[in-house]
Structure 1
Amino acid sequence: MTRAGGDTTGAPRWGGTALLRPGVLAFTGSIGTTDVHAHHAVQILTATTPLTVRDGHGIGHRGTKVVVPADAPHRIEVGAQEGTVVFLEPESVPGRSAHLRAVHSGWTVAPVLTSTRRRTLAAVVDELVEHLAPVLTGDGATPRHPAVDDALRLLPSLVAAGPVSGTDLAAQVGLSVSRLTHLFTDQVGIPLRRYVLWSRLRLAVMRVQAGDDLTGAAHGAGFADSAHLTRTTREMFGLAPSVLSRHVSWDLEAGL
Structure 2
Amino acid sequence: MTEQPWEGSALLRPGALAFTGTIGVTDPHAHHAVQIMTAPTVMTIVDGNDARHRGTTVIVPADATHRIDTGAAQGALVFLDPESTAGRAAHHRSIHHGWTSGPVLSHTRERPLGAVVTDLISQLTPVPAGPVPQRHPAVSAALDLLATPTGPGAVRGTEVAAQVGISASRLTHLFTDEVGIPLRRYVLWRRLHIAITRVQAGDDLTGAAHAAGFADSAHLSRTCRDTFGLPPSLLSRHIRWDIDTRV
5+ long unaligned stretches in structure 1: 6-12
For the structure 1 residues 203 and 40, does the alpha-carbon distance in structure 2 shift closer, same or farther, using more than 3 Å as the test? same
Cα distance in 2, alignment partners of residues 159 and 231 from structure 1: 21
5+ long unaligned stretches in structure 2: none
- Among residues 169, 175, 185, which one is paired with 2:166 in the alignment? 175
Deviations 1:134-175 (A, max 9, x none): 24x754653311221111111022654741122222232222
Cα distance in 2, alignment partners of residues 167 and 229 from structure 1: 23
- What does 1:78-227 correspond to in 2, within 5 Å? 78-135=70-127, 139=130, 141-157=132-148, 159-160=150-151, 162-227=153-218
Cα distance in 2, alignment partners of residues 179 and 82 from structure 1: 44
**Contact 1:130–1:138 (8 Å) recurs in 2:** no
For the structure 1 residues 159 and 57, does the alpha-carbon distance in structure 2 shift closer, same or farther, using more than 3 Å as the test? farther
**Contact 2:34–2:61 (8 Å) recurs in 1:** yes
Residue 244 in structure 1 maps to residue 227 in structure 2: no
- What's 1:40 paired with? 32
Normalising by structure 1, we get a TM-score of 0.90
Deviations 1:201-255 (A, max 9, x none): 1111111111111111111100011111111111001112122106421111123
- What's 1:49 paired with? 41
- The code of the aligned residue for 1:185 comes to T
- The code of the aligned residue for 2:225 comes to R
Deviations 1:52-77 (A, max 9, x none): 11111111111101000000011111
Range with greater deviation from structure 2 (88-97 or 211-220): 211-220
**Contact 2:199–2:237 (8 Å) recurs in 1:** no
- What's 1:77 paired with? 69
- How many residue pairs end up in the alignment? 247
**Contact 2:58–2:102 (8 Å) recurs in 1:** yes
- The code of the aligned residue for 1:201 comes to L
**Contact 1:200–1:221 (8 Å) recurs in 2:** yes
Task: Specify the SS of the correspondent of 2:148.
Answer: helix
Normalising by structure 2, we get a TM-score of 0.93
- The code of the aligned residue for 1:64 comes to T
Cα distance in 2, alignment partners of residues 190 and 90 from structure 1: 9
For the structure 1 residues 57 and 246, does the alpha-carbon distance in structure 2 shift closer, same or farther, using more than 3 Å as the test? farther
